[in-house]
Structures are given as structure tokens and as C-alpha cells.
Homo-oligomer: A and B are copies of this chain.
Amino acid sequence: MSDIITSNNNPTVRRLRKLATSGKTRREEGRTIASGTHLAHSFLDTGDTPEICIIATAAQANEEVIELVRQLQHTSTTLIEFADNIYESVADVHAAVGISIVFSIPEASNTALIGDALLVEDVQDPGNLGTMLRTAAASGITDVYLSPDCASAWSPKALRAGMGAQFALRIYEQSNLQKLIKSSQTPVYATMLTGDSVDLYDLDLRQPTAWLVGNEGQGVSTVLATLTTERVHIPQAATPVESLNVAAATAVCLYEQFRQRQSSQ
């Protein structure tokens, strides 16, 4: 490993700090940074190699870190040690162990909707988005399409909430959802905030299905909703609650689909 970086003005530190804090920089460079041993493991499990691996001085003795460094030593990954205060100024401090990887954001070329998919319109909160990706991966969805105004799936916050789900999915950012829905070969269901639509539990979800979920405040836009096969709502008890959180609603829909398929086997 190279010398310990201790200066805030080191060009690598400056560059990585920009990558950690600026969505624009991540998009322009096509790279992102993920922190913690769990995300590092999940990334390596895909067979890819990170460009850079940064380790905080305090984490050098951590057994998981030692094992990860051993895995990376004979690859093209640049291993760098950061003094703890420098590391904390760059990386996601929520990760318990001071290790971060920098890697190219996987590019998925935009295809037609032919199988199970999740379409996300303008969800703003990276925590919500990460949670939805995690649920999608757990319930067997492999393709996720994000609208241009959606939060990025590759920000440090979304990566943290996704807990590695990003590496198990094909994620199509900047997708033209209108075009995708129009040309879809599978039914597309829009999840609606109001009850003026089909009850989720009246649907037969055993065939390939695409789910469209919308913004936290506005829900799915009318423009997209009218293009879908069916508008669907999650029924509620008598208590007047406006709607579910978008990530909770996504979990309910994707798992109802999972349940139907499991029980029809």
C-alpha cells in the first residue's frame, strides 16, 4: 500500500470528496463511491474490480478489511490508506468500518419491457429508492427503470439504503418511461394513491408484470398512469390514512406478486 494520505488538499482526497458529495460529478465521471465492508463484499461478489479501495488507518487491523485487501492485492485496484480524519471527510460515516471502494457505475443499455420490472417515476428520497431496490432484488425483480428526475441509485445514501441490491439488479437510469410503457409487451400496473382504481388483491400477478410507482408527494403522473394497463391501489382499513410511503407500497405490491407465484408452484 502507498503512503498514508494525511492532507486535506491531496488531489485524490479532493477528487473523491467531490465524487461523494456531487451527483453531477458522479454522472459526469460515471463513477461512484460505496462505504463499509458489506457494500465492498457485495460489489466483489459480482466479479468486478473496484478502481480504488480506500482504507482508514483505524480500519487497517479489522479482520474483514484485511481479508478484502488480500482479495484486491493482485488486481488492478489502487489501494490507498487515509488518515482517519481525512477518511471521515470523504466517506459515508454511517458505515461502521472505514473502507470505501470507487468503481464505475454499471451501464445497462435501455431495452424494451419484456419481463418483470419496476419503473420508478421521480422518487426524490435516496433512502426510499435504496429501500425499493432492496425489496425489488429480494422479491426477484431484475430490471429497474428510473425516470430522469428520479434520485440516483448510485449516491452514497441510496447505496447505503440498498445494502448491495444495486449490484444484483440491472438499473436503467434516465429512462424514458413513457416510451417504455407504450411499447411494453407485458402488462404495466400503476400504483395509485387513491382508491379509484383496481384493488391490488383482485389482480392475477402470475404472469410477467411491470410496476410503475411515483413521486413521494404526487404519486404517478397522470400522463404515465393513463398509458398503463391498469391503475391499482392498496386497500386500507377504515382508519383514514392518506397513503402508504412509496417504499412500503412497493414492498406490498412486489410481495403480493411473489406470494401468488410461490403459491401457484
Contact = CB atoms under 8 A, between A and B. Distances in A.
Interface of A: 38, 45, 127, 131, 134-135, 137-140, 142, 161, 163-165, 168, 201, 234-245, 247-252, 255-256, 258-259, 262-263
Nearest to A139: B237
Given A134-B244, A138-B243, A140-B236, 10 more contacts: A131-B247, A135-B244, A137-B241, A139-B236, A163-B241, A165-B241, A201-B263, A235-B262, A247-B248, A252-B252
B241 A258 contact: no
30 contacts: A38-B242, A45-B240, A127-B127, A131-B245, A131-B247, A134-B244, A134-B245, A135-B248, A137-B237, A138-B234, A138-B236, A138-B237, A138-B244, A139-B237, A140-B236, A140-B238, A163-B241, A163-B242, A163-B243, A164-B241, A168-B240, A168-B241, A245-B247, A247-B247, A247-B248, A248-B248, A248-B251, A251-B251, A255-B255, A255-B256
Nearest to A253: B255
Contacts of A201: 259, 262-263
